[in-house]
Structures are given as structure tokens and as C-alpha cells.
Amino acid sequence: MHTAAHAMLFLLPQTTGYIFPNEAEMPWSLLIVVYPYLTGLVAGAFILASLVKVFNVKELQPVYRLSLLTALAFLLIAPLPLLLHLGHPERSYEIFLTPNLTSAMAMFGFVYAWYLMVVLLLEIWFTYRRELIVWSQGERTVMKVVYRVLSLFSVDTSEESAAFDRKAIKVITIVGIPSAFLLHGYVGFIFGSVKANPWWSSVLMPIVFLFSAIVSGIALVTFLYMVLTTLRRERINMACLDKMASFLFYAVILDFSLEFLDFIHRLYESEESIKILSELVMNRLFFSLGVIQVLLGMFVPLGIMVLIRVLRLDEELRKLLYFVAVILIQLGIFATRWNVVIGGQMFSKSFRGLMEYKAKIGGMDGFLMTLVLLVLPFIVLTVLIKVLPPWDRPESVAR
Amino acid sequence: MERRRFVKKSLTLLAEAGVLGGMVAAANKSARAEPKGYDASKHYYGMGIQIDKCIGCGKCVEACKEENNVPRDVAHFRTWVERYVIEQDGGVVVERVDPGSSGSHEPIPNENTVRTFFVPKLCNQCDNPPCVQVCPVGATFKTEDGVILVDADRCIGCRYCIQACPYGARYLNPLTDTADKCTFCYHRITKGLLPACVEVCPTQARIFGDIDSPASPLARFRRMNKLHVLKPSLNTEPKVQYADLDGEVR
């Protein structure tokens, strides 16, 4: 026992000022940073897809299916960090069986299941149904069975059935937009409703989460579209790329305005917690918030996109700059999640001290596991793209 | 035919609901740790803390760790004692008092010291508990006699309750990987005993009892003192009340 206590002393992070003794261990680690990051990408990618179907943004048609598959790949992995972070993952089913209805977290299972089953899988099925039938006829191997099963043994390829598909997709997308808002707004609510934590407790939290989600989703699909098209040795559709960049530009501005409003509001109200939160921002979060999230993740990409608009740069330079911008934005959004989740646990609820976070390298909630969880969605996406190519035979379907 | 099917279906549904309800009731029952003959409806517990009586000896912390098998390290406490030194220039120095270290750690008042005092801390057993509200599986609950408990067999270890507690009263027990906190020594009080910390306090700085009973020592404490609670603006309605509480204490 004595040695355990001794080892503990070395493991405990550095603190300044006074913290409550039970606060020495950070309850939510790196994995809980990954969770809102992944769900944000899901919601953002879906919103991008819905721009095509509901708002009829024709230029974005080339990335419609890619966005849907991206949303699905990331949604499938999103609950993993939560599960791995539980003290008792084997009891996680209790959230479904005996949910506590006053708990924001208890709603997770239902929001997730609704989004996966009712929105994403249905929309993808209707989008691919007719091709699945066509593909199954052209195949001879195992893939024939796979496509038959995926099409749920549907055989109707008539024009009427295709018309029904289109109508269904439209309806699902219309239901899907509020659902995507719900999915990520809800994640924001989990943090925003914790009144004990002044860094989190804000009515703006779900909305800030939502817009940062849209930013990250569009940036991710732009990145994937550029990389995948180059890998396939095809030409990048510049009208599509410019349109995505344009939406991204406005989304970043909205996201920044909301976060700035939150910042100004806190500063102006200057409540009891303002002193410790200022110390938090100036010391612990200076690099991850000031430099990565705001400077590299917002100002530089915004500058790049303004530059592109003003200078009317040529295609190659535009591609290069877009590519740099979306990577910076992605980095910035990851930092945003870090600043919320880890930042919110770096100050004591006594408002008298700051903690530090040292991520473990190994273990179930360490740095390596985080990397695995960030790579996994891309592996799932690769499989999805192999089975459901988002670009093959684009002429065969007149959508 | 239609009606018969409807009746049959309704009956099945009712039966299923009954079974489910039974399961929930059984689960609730298993969570209770009350001995036979104890009537929870006749009690509603609270604690009073007289700050001016606390000498910072840390006996309560020791007794709590011993009684409740709390990890013997410096990062897990069901109760702890803070020492405040308020200085002339407005500075406030707060430290946790280590059990058994009294005397060696005694602050030396100098000309800059305005006032010093000790503050025992523990779970505030809120009447409007944020931890109970956020628990996704209902593992944290309020008993009929007003105590907030954790069912270690049900807790999934998500730590949301630790985040929701404004007082830092909760921790993840490294032995069970479940949330843990002060129970007012529920296993003792339901047998008519006092919580361990109250039992060992040499100066009777901690007073325990029934809030409603006019004869309890707690009733006298509440009658004789001006009371305050921690972080009242959060509307958690703590059942741990302090007398002589300084405004610097959070």
C-alpha cells in the first residue's frame, strides 16, 4: 500500500494553486477528446451531403456519395472511444436497458441508433439500391451474393422504383438534417449542461459544437475528395472544390463568430470563475487554443480563402492552398475538442488552482489507442468505398 | 376476432411491463444496504459543521479511510480538511491538511495574516443532486432518508457524476473502477450509529442527525447558528450545512 501511494505521487500531474484532492486524477482522458471529434465529422459530412439533396447544390454532386460513406465510416467508430473509456465496458448495455431519463448521457444510445438506422443506413440503401441490383447481375463471385444481400434482395430496377428512391432520399435527408443537428448538438449539451463546470456550462455549447462539426466535416470530405481523386488519376472537379471551399469559408466564419461571442460574453459578465478561466487560457491552453485552434485553425485558413477569392489564383495554386487550409482546419477542430474536454478539466472547481494533463502512451486510454481510433474510420471507409464505389459508372444512374 | 387479439396483446404487454417492473424493483432492493427493522421513511439525514471548532487534526479523514476502505493515497478522499490562511494583502493560501500531520504543518501567523481556519469537506448530500441527475444508468440514487449512494454493481464507470459534482466530492475508486463518495457511513447510521468522522471528532465540530427531528443534536445546531452552504448559487441544496463559514471557502 505504501509503495502504491508513493508511486502515485510521481504519477500525479503538476498542479499550481489549490485543487480539491479528488481532482488530481483527470476523469476524462484523450479518448473523450476523440469522441466529439468523430461525431462532429459524421454530422458535418452528412450536412454536406444534404446540401446536394435538399438544397439542390448541383456542384457538390461529385462528393455526395463520398460524404455519406464518410459519415457512416466515422459513425461506426464513434462509440468505440466511449466504450473503451468506461470503467466497466461490459455493463454498457445498461444504458439501453435501464436508462436514467434525467441523464443527458443516457440518451446517447437512442440518438446514435436513430441516426445510424433511420438516417444514414436508409439513405445509403436508397442511394445505392438500383446499382446494387445492376452490380449483382454483373458479378459472378462472392460479390454477387454480397450485393444481393446488400440490396435486401430487391430486384426492381424500373424507372418508377428509381423515382421512389429519389423521393425517399429527399424525405430521409429532410429528417436527417435535424437528426445530424441532434447528434452533435446533443454531444455539446452533454458538456454545456454541467453547471459545476464554468468552462463548459454555456447555452451556446451545442451550437458551437454544431458549427465546428460542419466545419470539420466539410474540411474532411474536401481532403478525402482531393486525395482520392488524385489517387484515381482523375481530374478534380474545380467547380465542386470551389463550392465546398465556399461553404467551408462561411462555416468557419460562423463558427468563429459564435466562439468569439461566447468569449466576449464570459469576459463581459466576469463571473466568479473569470480569474481562473483567464489563467487557464493564458497558461494551460495558450498553445492549443491561441495558436492551434484560433491562429492556425481559423485565421490562417480564412486568410488563405480570402486570398484565393481576391487574387483569382489559377487552378493548381488553388488546389494546393485549399489542401493546406483543410488540413489546418482539421488540426484546429481537433484542438477545439481538446480545449473543451481537457481544458475543462485543467482547473479546480475550487477556482484556486490549475492541473496538468499527461497523456499515457500505452493502455486502453493512451496515446497509441487514440491514434488507432483516429485511423480506424479511414480503414472502414476504404472497405466501404471498395464495396460501394461512390464514383463508378456515374452515367448509369441519372440522378 | 380483432378485439380478442387486442385484449390478448394488451395482456401480454401488461405482463411484460410487470416483469420489467419487478426486475427494476428487485434491482432497487438489492441496492439497499439497510438492516432489518430499519424504517428509512422515519429519517432524513443531514450534517452540521461548526468551522470554529475544527482544529485540523485530521482524525475524521483517517477514520473515514479506515471505515470505508478508501484508498490510502493522496488522490482519493471521501472527506478531507482544508486549511485557509487569509492574508492582509488579500491573498488566500489554501492547503489540504494531511491526516496525523497536525502540529508539524501548523501555519505560523505573521503580521500579514488576517485570519486562519480549517474547513472539513465531504459530499454535501445535496437535496437537488446533479450527480444523480446525470448518471446514465441510475447507479447513483437518493435514498428515502436523503442519502446519495452509488450502486457499485450497476455503475459503468463513465465518470459523468464526477464531472457534475461541484464540490470535488467524488472519485473513481481504483479498486472497483466505479464512482465512489461519502455515504454518511450508511452502513452505520442505519444501525443507529454515527458516521465514523462524527464519532472520532474530538471537538464535536461535526454534528450528525435527523433534519426533521426536533430532538436531534443537529436540530439544536441548526437552531443556535447562522448557517450557510457551499456554492449556494448552483441550487444543489446541500444537506451539509456550515456554521461560521468564511466567504473565501468554495
Strands (E), chain B: 45-50, 79-87, 92-97, 113-122, 140-142, 148-150, 171-173, 178-180, 206-210, 227-228, 240-243
Shared domain check, B150 and B213: yes
Dist CA A88 CA A334 (whole Å): 27
Shared domain check, B129 and B7: no
pLDDT of residue A363: 83
Chain A positions touching B160 (Cβ under 8 A) are 103, 105, 190
Pairing of strands B240-243, B45-50: parallel
Dist CA A268 CA A246 (whole Å): 33
Tell me if A316 sits within 8 A of B214, measured CB to CB. Answer: no
Shared domain check, B198 and B108: yes
Dist CA B53 CA B119 (whole Å): 10
- Which of A1, A15, A20 is the best substitution to test chain B (most B C-beta atoms within 10 A)? A20
Shared domain check, B114 and B43: yes
B133–A103: do the CB atoms touch at under 8 Å? yes
Shared domain check, B22 and B95: no
B224 backbone dihedrals φ, ψ, rounded to 5°: -90, -10
Dist CA A227 CA A387 (whole Å): 19
A98–B72: do the CB atoms touch at under 8 Å? no
pTM: 0.89
How close is the nearest chain A Cα to the Cα of B79, in Å? 10
A195–B134: do the CB atoms touch at under 8 Å? no
The CATH number assigned to the domain holding B159 equals 3.30.70.20
Indicate whether B22 pLDDT > 80: no
Q: How confident is the model at residue B23 (pLDDT cuts 50, 70, 90)?
A: low
Shared domain check, B186 and B86: yes
Chain B positions touching A108 (Cβ under 8 A) are 136
Dist CA A216 CA A45 (whole Å): 8
Shared domain check, B68 and B98: yes
How close is the nearest chain A Cα to the Cα of B67, in Å? 16
A91–B154: do the CB atoms touch at under 8 Å? yes
How close is the nearest chain B Cα to the Cα of A275, in Å? 14
Shared domain check, B223 and B160: yes
In this prediction the ipTM stands at 0.91
Structural domain count of chain B: 2
Shared domain check, B24 and B59: no
A27–B76: do the CB atoms touch at under 8 Å? no
DSSP B204: -
A196–B178: do the CB atoms touch at under 8 Å? no
Single-letter amino acid code for the residue at A214: I
Shared domain check, B181 and B122: yes
How close is the nearest chain B Cα to the Cα of A19, in Å? 9
Shared domain check, B231 and B172: yes
| Nearest residue to A51 via CA among A36, A67, A38, A71 | A67
How close is the nearest chain B Cα to the Cα of A35, in Å? 13
Tell me if A348 sits within 8 A of A17, measured CB to CB. Answer: yes
Task: From first to last of the 399 residues of chain A, give the pLDDT tens digit.
Answer: 344 444 455 555 678 999 999 999 999 999 999 999 999 999 999 999 999 988 999 999 999 999 999 999 999 999 999 999 999 999 999 999 999 999 999 988 888 888 888 899 999 999 999 999 999 988 888 889 999 999 999 988 899 999 999 999 999 999 988 888 888 889 999 999 999 999 999 999 999 999 999 999 999 999 999 999 999 999 999 999 999 999 999 999 999 999 999 999 999 999 999 999 999 999 999 999 999 999 999 999 999 999 999 998 999 999 999 999 999 999 999 999 999 999 999 999 999 999 999 888 888 888 999 999 999 999 999 999 999 999 864 444 433
Chain A positions touching B136 (Cβ under 8 A) are 95, 99-100, 103, 105-106, 108
Shared domain check, B95 and B76: yes
- B19 is in which domain, residue-wise? 1-31
Dist CA B32 CA B28 (whole Å): 7
Dist CA A72 CA A81 (whole Å): 16
Q: How confident is the model at residue B111 (pLDDT cuts 50, 70, 90)?
A: confident
Indicate whether B30 pLDDT > 60: no
Chain B positions touching A102 (Cβ under 8 A) are 132-134
- Which of A1, A9, A11, A22 is the best substitution to test chain B (most B C-beta atoms within 10 A)? A22
Dist CA A176 CA A166 (whole Å): 15
